[in-house]
């Protein structure tokens, strides 16, 4: 669950809860129509696009019954999810990706292994167990894909993984907070810097223009709940009845 601070017009503090599967769907929406030069379109879109869209499906059961942090008494953010809990969730995402393709499993497993390798728990027993398990499995999924698609190059596989990682971060950047300052994405697929400039509420200019359409309109829904102490999940669920949406529009500079 993404836990985003939010204030009502009268200043009352609230929390905007965005489910991880919703964030992933936003990643997929941002990836749609991508590829205006100098940016490359999605590689093998029949696999890469659904992999981006569904890479966080393992969170669906958890986000339906969000846990409460016993210390803060607030919903647990995905950023604070304990490593063993994250591994169990990531494992479900990887397993469920089998319905798409072995290549989707490879991409999602590599994505989560990278997240763990660059985290504080990378050297923990749980972290090492997760990484070692999926190093071997991801190699077998990649080999399976390459046997079926011998024309697929190493460069294309690296580009596909870079695209999944980029759109995941692009979506998180939008969901985690209100953006009012210019931001430059340095690590885009192809390493072409992308500058996003806020010009009005929810409206951004993008330079260089990366989409093949003239304008992009995306949105994410979530639950608006009071920013208060919660005794348990059931207490939070009683408040999760105000479904709202945040919208963003992108236009050329």
pLDDT averaged over consecutive 10-residue blocks of the chain (253 residues)? Answer: 94 96 98 96 96 98 96 96 95 97 97 94 90 94 93 94 97 96 94 96 96 98 98 98 96 95
Phi, psi of 22 (to 5 degrees): -70, -45
Measured CA to CA in angstroms, residue 202 lies from 32, 99, 180 at distances of 19, 35, 9
pLDDT at residue 207, as a whole number: 97
The H-assigned helical ranges of 35-150 are: 45-54, 60-64, 83-96, 102-117, 125-148
| pLDDT of amino acid 245 | 95
Q: Residue 151 is part of which domain span?
A: 2-252
Do residues 196 and 30 make contact, with C-beta atoms less than 8 angstroms apart? no
For residue 100, what pLDDT is reported? Answer: 96
CA distances, 213 to each of 2, 12, 84, 91 (Å): 29, 39, 42, 36
pLDDT of residue 190: 87
Domain count, the chain: 1
Q: What is the DSSP letter of 209?
A: -
**Preceding amide of 208 cis, omega within 30:** yes
Query: How much of the chain is helix, strand and coil, in % rounded to 5?
Result: 45, 20, 35
Q: Are 232 and 220 in contact (CB under 8 A)?
A: no
E strand segments, 201-238: 203-207, 216-226
* Predicted local confidence at residue 27, as pLDDT: 98
């Amino acid at each position: 669950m993404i836990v985003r601070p939010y204030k009502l017009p009268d200043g009352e503090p609230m929390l905007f809860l965005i489910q991880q599967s919703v964030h992933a769907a936003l990643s997929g929406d941002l990836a749609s129509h991508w590829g205006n030069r100098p940016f490359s379109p999605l590689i093998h879109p029949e696999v890469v696009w659904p992999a981006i869209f569904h890479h966080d499906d393992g969170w669906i059961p958890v986000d339906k019954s969000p846990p409460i942090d016993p210390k803060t008494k607030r919903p647990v953010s995905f950023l604070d999810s304990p490593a063993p809990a994250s591994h169990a969730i990531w494992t479900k995402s990887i397993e469920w990706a089998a319905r798409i393709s072995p290549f989707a499993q490879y991409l999602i497993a590599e994505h989560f292994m990278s997240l763990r390798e660059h985290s504080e728990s990378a050297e923990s027993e749980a972290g090492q167990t997760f990484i070692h398990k999926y190093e071997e499995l991801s190699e077998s999924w990649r080999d399976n894909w390459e046997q079926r698609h011998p024309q697929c190059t190493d460069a294309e596989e690296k580009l596909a993984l870079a695209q999944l990682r980029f759109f995941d971060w692009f979506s998180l950047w939008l969901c985690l907070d209100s953006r009012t300052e210019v931001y430059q994405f340095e690590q885009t697929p192809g390493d072409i810097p992308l500058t996003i400039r806020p010009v009005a509420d929810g409206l951004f200019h993008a330079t260089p223009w990366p989409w093949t359409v003239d304008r992009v309109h995306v949105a994410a829904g979530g639950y608006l709940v009071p920013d208060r102490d919660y005794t348990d999940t059931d207490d939070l669920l009683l408040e999760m009845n105000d479904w709202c949406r945040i919208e963003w529009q992108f236009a050329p500079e």
